[in-house]
């Protein structure tokens, strides 16, 4: 057993009835008789800093070496960028790696955006179809994180590139093994036969005391153990290959809501519509409905009200005094329609999204007083403000 100088912890593993448990290192001796089929095995644990970040059903993890402060982000989700960076700073961690356990089809990974910000490598299994992966790893390899070692287990089934990570007393199982369930196999590159092998021939042969931290959990549970899952997980009770494969092929699950966009973004490193909208919204100020109503009532000459919807929508009803310039024609007509770049311009649309893009574009083109309406024509009507036709 290695002597690292780190604290000793004990794990329960199965043994033959009546065997004697003996654990030794230079300063620690234990002899005793334990219940049948269980024995303690001691192991040195490197001190770890660990943060669990749930986002709806998505689960992300920040794992750091307490001694060196090197860290990895596992399965980061795009809406939690500031939270990850804040947690790393709070714990004094330097994120060295960004890791996805597989190609996600139901949410948007934050690895590409975090790489742009942090300039650190993205790690995935070598079978990942994403061209932007910097470090491709294979089964049995390890990622060094200060004193910590993250051991890679290739566990295909949910996807071809699925992998699990064993680090100290826990295993990050991605979507291979969930708490009380398993990953589905009906998405691109899914394979129930491969999942059976990954579960019964790989994961469940590890130390049953390992804590299980999956990439998804919808009931608020933080973790489980391999022993608990082997005993209680309904899908793992189908221990015969044929029965397990038949069960997985007949789950009849609904498709993830954003599967097409998620696969496009996660396989290319591109941006989602929501991410583009958030980036645009971060570059422009907004005006409230009440503030705009005040300008309309006062017939303010210093404000250009720009309706960026299509003509048909404009003619059904618009903000009094607004002029029409559809978003799709904005760049081509802006010089003739808006010759003065010092004007204050308020852009609005039906729901407030397209006008945010329009205001950001105007600012990029030099109209530094462009703002977007906080809301849209729909909210304007609902508030009871006047509508012109």
- Identify the pLDDT of residue 32: 41
Chosen domain end from 215, 237, 268: 268
Q: Which of 167, 144, 145, 141 is nearest to 154 (CA)?
A: 141
**What integer is the mean pLDDT of 95-115?**
94
For residues 159 and 211, state if they share a domain: yes
CB 11 within 8 A of CB 40: yes
Instruction: Work out how many domains the chain is built from and give that number.
Output: 3
Question: What phi, psi does 206 have (nearest 5°)?
Answer: -80, 175
Beta bridge partner(s), residue 105: none
- Tell me: pLDDT of 21 over 60: no
For residues 68 and 185, state if they share a domain: yes
Residue 165 is part of a domain; what is its CATH number?
Answer: 3.60.15.10
Q: Which of 153, 224, 169, 151 is nearest to 46 (CA)?
A: 169
- Identify the pLDDT of residue 13: 34
Q: Please tell me the distance from the alpha carbon of residue 122 to that of residue 100, in angstroms, as a whole number.
A: 8
**What integer is the mean pLDDT of 104-126?**
94
Higher-pLDDT residue of 300 and 126 is 126
Chosen domain end from 268, 303, 320: 268
Domain housing 29: 8-44
For residues 242 and 211, state if they share a domain: yes
**14 pLDDT band (50/70/90 cuts)?**
very low
Has residue 3 been placed in a domain? no
For residues 239 and 291, state if they share a domain: no
Q: Please tell me the distance from the alpha carbon of residue 64 to that of residue 387, in angstroms, as a whole number.
A: 57
- Identify the pLDDT of residue 28: 33
Close Cβ partners of 157 (under 8 Å, ≥ 6 residues apart): 176, 182, 183, 185, 190, 191, 192, 193, 194, 195, 196, 197, 198, 199
For residues 24 and 73, state if they share a domain: no
Close Cβ partners of 233 (under 8 Å, ≥ 6 residues apart): 177, 179, 180, 181, 182
For residues 371 and 255, state if they share a domain: no
- Tell me: pLDDT of 17 over 70: no
For residues 72 and 153, state if they share a domain: yes
- Identify the pLDDT of residue 289: 98
CB 331 within 8 A of CB 361: yes
For residues 286 and 322, state if they share a domain: yes
For residues 199 and 309, state if they share a domain: no
């Amino acid at each position: 057993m290695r002597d690292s100088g780190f604290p000793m912890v004990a794990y329960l593993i199965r043994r033959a009835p009546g065997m004697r448990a003996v654990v030794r290192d230079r300063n620690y001796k234990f002899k005793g008789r334990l219940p049948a089929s269980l024995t303690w095995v001691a192991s040195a644990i490197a001190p770890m800093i660990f943060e669990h970040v749930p986002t709806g059903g998505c689960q992300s993890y920040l794992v750091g070496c307490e001694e060196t402060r090197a860290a990895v982000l596992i399965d980061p989700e795009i809406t939690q960028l500031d939270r990850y960076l804040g947690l790393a700073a709070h714990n004094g961690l330097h994120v060295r790696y960004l890791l996805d356990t597989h190609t996600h089809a139901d949410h948007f990974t934050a690895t590409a955006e975090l790489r742009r910000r942090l300039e650190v490598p993205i790690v995935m299994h070598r079978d990942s179809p994403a061209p932007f992966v910097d470090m491709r790893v294979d089964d049995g390899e390890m990622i060094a994180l200060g004193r910590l070692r993250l051991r890679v287990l290739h566990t295909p089934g949910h996807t071809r590139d699925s992998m699990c990570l064993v680090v100290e007393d826990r295993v990050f199982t991605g979507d291979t093994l969930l708490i009380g369930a398993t990953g589905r196999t009906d998405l691109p590159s899914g394979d129930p036969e491969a999942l059976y092998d990954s579960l019964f021939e790989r994961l469940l042969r590890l130390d049953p005391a390992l804590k299980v931290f999956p990439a998804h959990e919808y009931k608020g549970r933080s973790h489980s153990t391999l022993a608990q899952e082997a005993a209680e997980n309904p899908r793992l009770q189908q221990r015969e290959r044929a029965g397990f494969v038949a069960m997985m092929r007949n789950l009849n699950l609904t498709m993830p809501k954003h599967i097409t966009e998620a696969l496009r973004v996660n396989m290319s490193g591109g941006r989602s519509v929501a991410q583009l909208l958030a980036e645009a919204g971060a570059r422009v100020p907004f005006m409230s409905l009440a503030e705009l109503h005040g300008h309309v009532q006062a017939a303010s000459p210093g404000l250009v009200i720009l309706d960026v919807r299509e003509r048909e929508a404009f003619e059904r009803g618009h903000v009094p005094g607004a002029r029409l310039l559809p978003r799709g024609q904005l760049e081509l007509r802006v010089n003739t329609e808006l010759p003065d770049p010092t004007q204050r311009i308020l852009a609005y649309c039906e729901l407030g999204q397209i006008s945010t893009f329009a205001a950001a574009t105007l600012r990029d083109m030099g109209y530094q007083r462009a703002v977007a309406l906080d809301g849209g024509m729909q909210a304007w009507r609902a508030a009871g403000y006047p509508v012109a036709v």
